[in-house]
Structure 1
Amino acid sequence: MNQIDYTTTSPRFSVTNNKELDEGLAYLNEHGYVVISDVMSQDEVNMNKELLWKFIENVSNSTIKRDDPETWSTQWPSFSSHGVISGLGIGQSELLWSVRSNRQVKNIFARLWNTRQLLVSFDGCGVFRDWRYNSTWKTNGGWNHVDQNPKLKP
């Protein structure tokens, strides 16, 4: 199996610049993936992080504390070694509705599909614990449902 080349970065295309977004969609058609930047403001990112932690703390009956990595191994809501949360109401959570209804997210998909009439399915999300605290938290490879490197794919 080929190793992933982490030295080459994927190009980013800004959602706030129509020309760049067009270039990004052309890149998607050619390469099969694209990385879109500037989708959320830092305030929106912070709000969604807060919603994620609120979800995790609630489904763990408050046994998981965001500021205490020692609590992250008990009751962690992931159903796989890949970091995917696909149950416990995550699909209809405030977090996922916040992400799927984000104006820029909708604009990207409207451009991609050439329609504003969008239908979404959001069954789960990926959540990765910082495995520097505990090496057993390191996510298993092989599923690669994240940004891929443009130079060498696994």
Structure 2
Amino acid sequence: MPHLDFEEPTTKWHEDLVREGFAVIKAAVPEDRCQYYIGQMFDWLEQFPFGFDRNDRSTWTEEHLPSHMKGGMYHGYRVQHESFMWEARQESGVIDAFSKIWGTDELLVSFDGMNFTLPSGSPLPPTAPWPHIDQSPKKIGMQCVQGIINLAPNGHEDGGLLIMKGSSGLMEDFFKAHPEVVDRPTWGSSDWFGFEQAELGWFKERGCKILKVCADPGDLIVWDSRCVHYNQVPQSQNLRAVIYACYTPASFAKPDDLRKKGELFDQKVGTTHWPHDNIFSTSEKKLRLGKPDFAERDEPFHRPEESELVQKLAGKRPY
């Protein structure tokens, strides 16, 4: 089963990833590019027929926005394949970081979504924690590294990623100590597993702590999918803007998964966090404000240019 276990990390952030389960890679994307992507996100919202206007704060409300979850997570409307999303996935600093993680530049990328949480004038209702991992205990070693391309200042009160520092290295021991949970029904083909709050105590007893990961514009946050994590909504009145992007070696993928990935790319649908496995569509249509969404889409507004690099990252063309 393909995986990678590091023995000698090559940089400080690389060491953080291996030992603590996450790392922040500074300035992976130039700041002017961050502003460009934020502008593209505003453009995307304004293309829907809901009356959103970036210059009118009175429209920064649910009734003027496309369907989303947890404050501003967007996974519908084929947003995964908007041209600007593919531009971000090709940022050299992002690809270079994942190349260092895996020791190869022959990578696949996930067809993942974005988070664009707008300040609404008052704090958003807090969401209940949903601590989870994204790798089955039946998969040994580090097989998936998730990523957040952070585009706006993100401090302690600005919402975002919470990590249980050090939990990735203990995950195999946890499931050995708790064999009864290995086949809990929450396991699915996407490797998602949610922890009960009481189970987190096992990790805390071994020195793990939950930390809010903070980042500057252009920073890349990466974490081992075996690391317990979840998201929280902003309590500040600051914008949150991120693109989720995960990369793994193309050599990890089975031929049939590459075929399916290429087909889903042609259909311009989203998939899971896993670039090389769990290849199935996550673009099911959902309700908006409790009603069928008449603005649901089967195409992105702007299709990406299918360059050689895009086709390779998408699994359409071999390296």
Give the Å deviation of 1:79.
Answer: 2.3
Taking the aligned partners of 1:147 and 1:103, their CA distance within structure 2 comes to: 26
Taking the aligned partners of 2:130 and 2:67, their CA distance within structure 1 comes to: 15
Taking the aligned partners of 2:27 and 2:114, their CA distance within structure 1 comes to: 20
Q: What secondary structure, in the 3-state scheme, does the structure 2 residue paired with 1:49 have? A: helix
Taking the aligned partners of 1:83 and 1:49, their CA distance within structure 2 comes to: 13
* Equivalent residue letter for 1:104: G
1:61 and 2:118 aligned: no
Unmatched tracts of structure 2, length 5 or more = 1-9, 132-159, 166-207, 212-319
Give the Å deviation of 1:149.
Answer: 7.9
* Equivalent residue letter for 2:52: I
Choose between structure 1 and 2: higher strand proportion. 2
1:134 and 2:149 aligned: no
* Equivalent residue letter for 1:40: V
Whichever of the two has the greater Rg, that structure is 2
Task: Classify 1:82/1:122 alpha carbon distance in 2 versus 1 (closer, same or farther; 3 Å).
Answer: farther
The equivalent position to 1:146 in structure 2, one of 161, 176, 189, is 161
Residue 25 of structure 1 is matched in structure 2 by: 14
Residue 38 of structure 1 is matched in structure 2 by: 27
Alignment of 1:1-154 (within 5 A): 22-58=11-47, 60-61=48-49, 63-73=51-61, 74-131=63-120, 133-135=121-123, 137-138=124-125, 140-143=127-130, 146=161, 148=163, 152-153=209-210
Q: What secondary structure, in the 3-state scheme, does the structure 2 residue paired with 1:119 have? A: strand
Q: What secondary structure, in the 3-state scheme, does the structure 2 residue paired with 1:35 have? A: strand
Task: Classify 1:143/1:78 alpha carbon distance in 2 versus 1 (closer, same or farther; 3 Å).
Answer: farther
Deviations 1:99-124 (A, max 9, x none): 11111011011111111111111321
TM-score norm. by structure 2 comes to: 0.38
Task: Classify 1:78/1:62 alpha carbon distance in 2 versus 1 (closer, same or farther; 3 Å).
Answer: closer
Query: 8 Å contact 1:128–1:139 — kept in the other structure?
Result: no
What is the aligned-residue identity percentage? 21
* Equivalent residue letter for 1:153: I
Give the Å deviation of 1:81.
Answer: 2.5
Give the Å deviation of 1:139.
Answer: 5.4
Aligned length: 132
TM-score norm. by structure 1 comes to: 0.73
Aligned-CA RMSD value? 2.5
Give the Å deviation of 1:134.
Answer: 3.5
Give the Å deviation of 1:148.
Answer: 3.9
* Equivalent residue letter for 2:118: R
Unmatched tracts of structure 1, length 5 or more = 1-20
Farther off after superposition, 44-53 or 73-82: 73-82
Taking the aligned partners of 2:12 and 2:67, their CA distance within structure 1 comes to: 36
Give the Å deviation of 1:56.
Answer: 1.2
Query: 8 Å contact 2:51–2:59 — kept in the other structure?
Result: yes
Farther off after superposition, 99-108 or 143-152: 143-152
* Equivalent residue letter for 1:43: D
Taking the aligned partners of 1:139 and 1:85, their CA distance within structure 2 comes to: 18
Query: 8 Å contact 2:60–2:119 — kept in the other structure?
Result: no
Choose between structure 1 and 2: higher helix proportion. 1
Task: Classify 1:139/1:84 alpha carbon distance in 2 versus 1 (closer, same or farther; 3 Å).
Answer: farther
